[in-house]
Amino acid sequence: MLSYRHAFHAGNHADILKHLVLTLCLQHMNGKEKPYLVLDTHAGAGMYTIDSEQAKKTGEYIDGIGRLWNRVDLPAPMKPYMEALQAANAGLKLRRYPGSPWLANHFMRNGDSLRLCELHSTDFALLRREFNEGGRRIKVEQQDGFEMMKAVLPPPSRRGLVLIDPSYEIKSDYPRVLAALKDGTKRFATGTFLVWLPFLPSIDARALPEKLRKLPGDWLQVSLHVRGPATKGHGMSGSAMFVLNPPWTLNQALRDTLPWLTEVLAMDTNANWEVLNSTAGGTPSSA
């Protein structure tokens, strides 16, 4: 039985990195007129209230989006993401944090299509309510997102982006992510695939990024640590986004943003960032 609820973690440092990368990729997709598909395999509830009981219990948003909300010195690549968050809050005080489905819908165009998968019954109901007026271009399904990849790839337009964002609460998520990418790229070799990765003190969490980097094709991995490495039982020290077939603009945009973002979100002196990419032979750019 699924128990993970993202409402406890919405707006934390991992969400910021994940949604920044998603926003940058969607903006690049919009550079061509041909329509595209976005598939979100683990969509969650779609929108979160940060003054909810769940969010207040952990308070993770305070050291995440709470640190960015009133900043006026944003790097240029951060601005569209923050403007979207302001739109979600109607330009008022920070109360709502949009998940990846809301952000995708915000940046996508009328001719593009959005497929949202969520298995958790409570979050599925909230997700369906959030997009009940989405029309034919948005489909919300209580389905296994990994299996949905097999059903919808490749999209008819041969343009698309897949966001794979499991909780990794279930140990089998790790091998399923790798298997889904292997199968997905066979079905849709030109698609852009985004995978969120937590930095946790477990063997599976440490091994998955290296396995992903061995996949064929162009890739980029961006990492953000907000504090020193966690020990067992002490949660995430940071997270990463792995991107297969990344937009050519993504590398520089992240290099222009991560030094500032790391400084703002740092929780101790061990905070750091890193960008790896296949075109540089895996050589990092970091600080």
Residue 32 belongs to a domain: yes
Residue 1 belongs to a domain: no
CATH number (domain holding residue 249):
3.40.50.150
**The predicted structure's pLDDT at residue 8:** 79
What is the spatial distance between Cα 4 and Cα 123, in angstroms, rounded to a whole number? Answer: 10
**The predicted structure's pLDDT at residue 233:** 56
Residue 56 belongs to a domain: yes
pLDDT at 1 over 50: no
More confident residue, 2 or 166: 166
Residue 143 belongs to a domain: yes
Range of the domain at 79: 6-286
Cβ(138)–Cβ(131) below 8 Å: yes
Model confidence pLDDT, tens digit, residues 26-54:
999 999 999 999 999 999 999 999 877 77
How many C-beta neighbours within 10 Å does residue 112 have?
24
pLDDT at 100 over 70: yes
Residue 281 belongs to a domain: yes
| 204 catalytic per annotation | no
What is the spatial distance between Cα 99 and Cα 96, in angstroms, rounded to a whole number? Answer: 10
**The predicted structure's pLDDT at residue 91:** 76
What is the spatial distance between Cα 127 and Cα 124, in angstroms, rounded to a whole number? Answer: 5
More confident residue, 57 or 274: 274
Query: Total structural domains in the chain?
Result: 1
Catalytic residue from among 165, 204, 218, 268: 165
Q: What is the mean pLDDT of residues 154-176?
A: 95
| Mean of all residue pLDDT scores within the chain | 92
